[in-house]
């Protein structure tokens, strides 16, 4: 089995060469065949997440899916998670919480940390929890697509994740935004209602705004700052 320690540059290139003409479902079959229960999906339950959840359910009905519950998400996000649990009862969906409550974070770091130091807020509420999740996993899945933003344009199916010392699998790299929504509509999948209100990418409530037509799908995240990623994919 591949692992972060054994995935050399040569093997990394060979694996992606092997998968280059595969579709998302084939990539998932390869990934679960390779990693089994050592593969976890860190899902944000956005539009791409709905597609991956459905595809995963076809390959591994009892797959482990983790939601990084920062306690700062929109109510619509929690609502769609309930709907997903009802539609896919065999999936093992976990709500991973940060070690600090919102009140404890405010007492230790000051109120509205997402404004004064958004990188620290993401570190406490997303990065550290994912580190804990990945301690017991060999690889993890993500719904990254190349067209989402310039920082994601070179994402591969299989990626060496040096940030988390893991292997990151991204089955949707070639999908366009229209492909995502065509799939959602074709299979009548549940989705976050905020997508109908101009939110292509949905994160924490305090750091997410709707996007005007023409902006890239990440334009509404940390609007007005230099920040474009929470750190999970850097």
Taking the C-alpha atoms of residue 68 and residue 202, their distance in angstroms, rounded to an integer, is 13
- Give CB contacts under 8 A, 24+ apart, made by 101-108: 101/71, 102/71, 102/72
| Residue burial 145-160, b: 16+ Cβ < 10 Å; e: rest | bbebbeebeebbbbbe
122 is catalytic: no
List 121, 122, 170, 230, catalytic entry: 230
Structure tokens, 83: 């709907």
Q: Which helix (H) or strand (E) holds 39?
A: strand 39-42
Phi, psi of 160 (to 5 degrees): -85, 110
Residue whose C-alpha is closest to residue 69's, from 50, 42, 48, 89: 42
Give me the active site residues, please.
230
């Amino acid at each position: 089995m591949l692992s972060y320690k054994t995935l050399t540059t040569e093997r990394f290139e060979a694996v992606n060469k092997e998968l280059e003409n595969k579709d998302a479902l084939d990539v998932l079959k390869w990934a679960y065949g390779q990693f089994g229960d050592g593969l976890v999906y860190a899902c944000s339950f956005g539009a791409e997440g709905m597609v991956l959840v459905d595809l995963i359910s076809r390959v591994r009905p009892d797959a482990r899916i983790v939601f990084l519950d920062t306690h700062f998400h929109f109510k619509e996000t929690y609502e769609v998670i309930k709907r997903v649990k009802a539609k896919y009862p065999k999936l093992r969906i976990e709500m991973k919480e940060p070690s600090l409550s919102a009140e404890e974070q405010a007492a230790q770091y000051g109120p509205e940390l997402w404004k004064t130091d958004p990188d620290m807020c993401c570190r406490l509420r997303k990065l550290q929890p994912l580190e804990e999740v990945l301690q017991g996993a060999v690889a993890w899945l993500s719904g990254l697509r190349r067209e989402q933003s310039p920082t994601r344009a070179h994402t591969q199916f299989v990626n060496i994740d040096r940030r988390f010392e893991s292997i990151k699998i991204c089955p949707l790299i070639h999908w366009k935004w229209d492909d995502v929504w065509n799939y959602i509509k074709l299979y009548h999948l549940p989705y976050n209602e905020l997508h109908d209100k101009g939110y292509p990418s949905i994160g924490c409530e305090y750091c997410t705004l709707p996007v005007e037509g023409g902006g890239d799908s990440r334009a509404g995240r940390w609007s007005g700052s230099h920040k474009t990623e929470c750190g999970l994919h850097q």
